[in-house]
Amino acid sequence: MHEAFIHRCLALAEHGRGKVGLNPLVGAVLVREGKIIAEAFHEEFGKAHAERALLEKFEQKIRSDDILYVNVEPCCHQGKTPACTDIIRKRGVKQVVFGMVDPDPLVQGKGIACLREAGITVTGPIERAQCEWLNRGFISLRSKGRPWVTIHSARTRGGAYAVPDGRPLKMTSEEQDRWTHQWLRGQHDAILVGVQTVITDDPQLTVRFGMHLPSPLRVVLDPHLRIPLSARMVNGDLASGTVVITAPGSDRAVHQQLMERGVSVVEIPLTDGHFDLSGLWNALMTPTGSFHGIASILVEGGAKTWQNFRAAGLVDEEVTLLGVA
C-alpha cells in the first residue's frame, strides 16, 4: 500500500509547479486504517511545507497507528519556515513514510535521523525513482548548482531543423504539439530560445491547448538586443513573464522600451561572444519580489543555442520530435 500513498503525494506535489521556485515539489497525506484522512502540498515558495500545512490544518488527535506520507524527507532545519520534524514530533505522529532523501546538504538524511531519535518509525525510500524524477530540477539545483536542462527540438523526415532562407517551418503535428505543451513546456519552469528564433518564428512560448498548467518564464538570449519590439513575447500580457538576457552596452533605447512594457532585461557579460552561463544561472536562481527562481529550463532552439548548451556540457535530457513534414 505504501506505493499508492506516495503516488498520491506526487500528484498533490504537482499542484505546486510554477509556484515553489527553488523549493522541491512536495505533497503529504495522513492515512488512518488504510484511508487518506488529510492531505496537503507545498503551495508556494516561502509558504508552509506540505507536512506542516497538513498537520496545522488537521485538528483531530493523531493516533499512534496513523501514518504520515511525504514524497521528500521532512526538513530538520529552520529556513523561511520552521523545521517540519518539529511539528511532526509535537503533533505525536508515530509513523512516517518518505519517497526520497532530501538532497539539500542541510538535510540529506538528518530529517530521518531526527525523527528516529524521537522514537518515530520511519520507512523509505518508497518509489524513489519516481520521486527523484518529479524533483529532478530541485536535485539539479542542490547537486550541480544549476537548473535541470532539457533540449527540445523537432526535425523533418529529411533531417532539417530549419529552412536555409530563414522562413518559419511548421514540421510537427497537432498531436505532437499537444504532447510538447503538456509534457515539456508544462513540466519546466522556463523556456529559453536564441534571438534568431524570435526573429524567424515569433513564438509565444506559452502552454496552450486548454491545459490548465502554468506557463513557464520565457527567456531569450539576445546579446545585441536584436529582438523586434513587435515580437509577441514582449507585448501585452506576455511581456511581464519574459526575460531578455543581453550584454552590457547593448542599445539603451531598446532596453528602456522593453522595461517599460514589463519585460525583465538582465545584463550578463560575454566571453568570446557567448554569455557566461554561470551568470545566467545566477540571474535565474536569485529570487526577487514575486520571482521565486527556477529549477528547470527547456531549451527550444535554434541550432546555435542548442550547440552552445551542448558545448558547455549543460544538457541533462534531449527530446527530438520527428516531424510529419
CA distances from 139 to 79, 102, 202 (A): 18, 8, 33
> Which of 65-73, 176-184, 221-229, 281-289 is the region at the interface with ligand NAP (rule: CB under 6 A)?
221-229
Q: Are 201 and 227 in contact (CB under 8 A)?
A: no
Site for ligand NAP in 126-165 (CB under 6 A): 153-155, 161-162
Dihedral angle of Cα 256, 260, 262, 265, to the nearest 10 degrees: 10
CA distances from 168 to 37, 102, 155 (A): 53, 44, 13
Query: What are the φ/ψ torsions at residue 20 (nearest 5 degrees)?
Result: -85, -5
The DSSP bridge partners found for residue 296 are 148
Q: Are 202 and 284 in contact (CB under 8 A)?
A: no
Work out whether 274 is an interface residue with ligand NAP (CB under 6 A): yes
Of 39, 51, 127, 300, catalytic: 51
Q: Cell triple for residue 219?
A: 527567456
Work out whether 257 is an interface residue with ligand NAP (CB under 6 A): no
Name the E strands within 124-263. 148-155, 190-194, 217-221, 242-246
Q: Give the residue, chosen from 108, 182, 200, 282, that forms a contact with ligand NAP under the rule CB under 6 A.
A: 200
Cα 298 to chain center, whole Å?
10
Q: How far apart are CA 194 and CA 303, in angstroms?
A: 9
Q: How far apart are CA 154 and CA 300, in angstroms?
A: 9
Work out whether 305 is an interface residue with ligand NAP (CB under 6 A): yes
Least CB distance to ligand NAP at residue 224 (A): 4
Least CB distance to ligand NAP at residue 307 (A): 8
Is the Cβ of residue 11 or residue 169 nearer to ligand NAP in the bound state?
A: 169
Q: Give the residue, chosen from 22, 195, 227, 295, that forms a contact with ligand NAP under the rule CB under 6 A.
A: 195
Work out whether 231 is an interface residue with ligand NAP (CB under 6 A): no
> Which of 6-14, 204-212, 223-231, 252-260 is the region at the interface with ligand NAP (rule: CB under 6 A)?
223-231
Q: Give the residue, chosen from 130, 213, 308, 319, that forms a contact with ligand NAP under the rule CB under 6 A.
A: 308
Query: Which CB contacts under 8 angstroms, 24+ apart, belong to 251-256?
Result: 251/224, 251/225, 254/225, 254/227, 254/229, 255/225
How many residues form the binding site for ligand NAP (CB under 6 A)? 28
Work out whether 80 is an interface residue with ligand NAP (CB under 6 A): no
Q: Give the residue, chosen from 46, 109, 145, 166, that forms a contact with ligand NAP under the rule CB under 6 A.
A: 166
Q: Give the residue, chosen from 1, 36, 259, 303, that forms a contact with ligand NAP under the rule CB under 6 A.
A: 303
Is the Cβ of residue 19 or residue 155 nearer to ligand NAP in the bound state?
A: 155
Work out whether 74 is an interface residue with ligand NAP (CB under 6 A): no
**Residue 117 bears catalytic tag:** no
Q: Which residues bind ligand NAP (CB under 6 A)?
A: 153-155, 161-162, 166, 168-169, 193-197, 200-201, 221, 223-224, 226, 274-275, 300-305, 308
Active site residues: 51
